[in-house]
Chain A
């Protein structure tokens, strides 16, 4: 009887081993996918005291997906899930900094919508860390690089420049992108403010050169406004302003180029960022 029992258990184990190997052979390992997260409010209710850990686990899950995502996979297939996951993580735990860096690294390049969503996510980070320059820098760069909104970028840089101990670089970028967006006067004011607070001779000299260029551009802009007032329409070409509204169109080159896309006059870098 005993040997029968032993044989039976050995047979059962062998059978289990055989079926297990069969299952392994036929198993199809699916690609890692990223699902949309459940609503943040539900996460808060379910996780309670452990909501920070819930956010960190969601972040790890997203990071694993990003690590495994195949290059050939179309970006649009996971963009929405990625946006929603980063949004959920940052809403659940705004002071956890890693998701902002990952979101900036992966989202803006996917699409215009994703770049906009990424800026909303960065807003959560900016509210949580009002004195942190990195998230503001990311947001301003996204406006210029991915959303082609130089004025919004200039506004973000100007807000960053207003923070105590902010490097003067932000103020300068605000001026440059204001001019690129068509608000040359605002750019000029920013440059003059920077010049007033700058002590370094080399930097002061650079600001002075740029101010001279901006002042020339402002003259052309004033002429444009005058033309528009008189003719109730902007000119097709800047040469139409000469000589009635301006003696000659100044030759602006090297550091900046004067670009006129009716009805907007802009001052752009010769090799613009975008």
Chain B
């Protein structure tokens, strides 16, 4: 067990160093900073709800940055190993394919955590500066615990997507199909709750309960990631969610990530790498 953990840590370290060498963090941080600076130009158009708007803007930019990391770095790293046959070199050492999958996931997850920490700290600084520069009535609330919760939710969403990328990388060859599948997966995850809401509204009139059941089942495969969206709480007086509203989405997504990784490991073990 200790040996396996050591192997995972070693390979994860290689993934982290590779990410740093490719300027994945620095480039994305500069991108986020440029977006935030550009966004400031538009804040004159928000006359009252400045706190809410700046908080939403900041989290959305961080989300886009994380999304770019996943689509253009994580997908590439997972496929790069396969496409350039690096996987053969790594598997030639005494590590199992499952260890390999977990290591790549862990390495990318740590990189993502580092990116989120940098963006989170910058975000808090930017929000504090904006709050100081406007009258209190326009930016009444800024809560550090909810800011952490919102960031944890965002990181959790990114981990779900990362685990799905690992699953797709094992299932199909090449980075471009994985990228397309990941985008499709994300759109289905965003769209399914909207479809469910629409069907629920008409279910009583048209008796489409079977369709509703089908959509509910599909939601277990394509989870509603907005359940982990707590960003509006950080800078507003919105009602605090109950403990179950916080704990359940995190529990569901953690188990979902574990299942995806287990499936990815199983697929890698059965896959012909030649």
Contacts and interface: CB of A to CB of B under 8 A. Distances in A.
Interface of A: 41, 44-53, 56, 59-60, 63-64, 95-98, 101
Interface in B40-54: 42, 45-49, 52-53
B57 A45 contact: no
Contact of A95 (B42, B189, B194, B232): B232
B49 A98 contact: yes
Interface string B148-172: 0000001001000000000000000
Given A45-B191, A45-B194, A60-B42, A53 B60 contact: yes
Contact of A50 (B45, B46, B60, B193): B60
Nearest to B228: A49
Sort A-B residue pairs by CB-CB distance and give the 6 closest, nearest first: A48-B190, A53-B60, A50-B60, A45-B191, A52-B56, A60-B45
B238 interface: yes
- Which of B42, B64, B187, B190 counts the most chain A CB atoms within 10 A? B190
Interface residues of B, number: 31
Given A60-B46, A96-B52, A52 B232 contact: yes
A97 B194 contact: no
Contacts of A41: 194, 198
A95 B52 contact: yes
Interface in B114-129: none
B63 A49 contact: yes
B190 A44 contact: yes
Interface residue SS majority, chain A: helix
Contacts of B96: none
Given A45-B191, A52-B231, A96 B186 contact: no
Contacts, number: 68
Nearest to A64: B45
Nearest to B153: A49
Interface string B220-243: 000001100101100010100000
Contacts of B57: 53, 56
Q: Which of B189, B193, B194, B226 has the most CB of A within 10 A?
A: B194
12 contacts: A48-B187, A48-B225, A52-B56, A53-B56, A56-B56, A59-B45, A60-B45, A95-B52, A96-B53, A97-B48, A97-B49, A98-B53
Contact of B238 (A44, A59, A95): A95
A9 B229 CA distance: 53
A44 B47 CA distance: 24
A124 to B, nearest CB: 15
Chain B interface SS verdict (over half) = helix
A9 to B, nearest CB: 31
Nearest to A41: B194
Given A45-B194, A49-B229, A96-B53, A56 B64 contact: no
Nearest to B52: A96
A46 B189 CA distance: 11
Contacts of B157: 49
B34 to A, nearest CB: 16
B57 to A, nearest CB: 6
B9 to A, nearest CB: 31
Given A53-B57, A96-B52, A45 B187 contact: yes
Contacts of B226: 48-49, 51
Contacts of B232: 52, 95
Nearest to A56: B53
A82 to B, nearest CB: 16
Contact of A52 (B46, B60, B187): B60
A95 B49 CA distance: 10
Contacts of A59: 45-46
A52 B238 CA distance: 14
Given A97-B49, A98-B48, 6 more contacts: A49-B154, A56-B56, A59-B45, A64-B45, A96-B53, A97-B52
Contacts of A63: 45
Contacts of A47: 190
Contacts of A52: 52, 56, 60, 231-232
A50 B64 contact: yes
A249 to B, nearest CB: 51
A95 B45 contact: no
Interface string B167-209: 0000000000000000000110111011000100000000000
Contact of A56 (B46, B48, B191, B198): B46
A101 B49 CA distance: 11
B225 A49 contact: yes
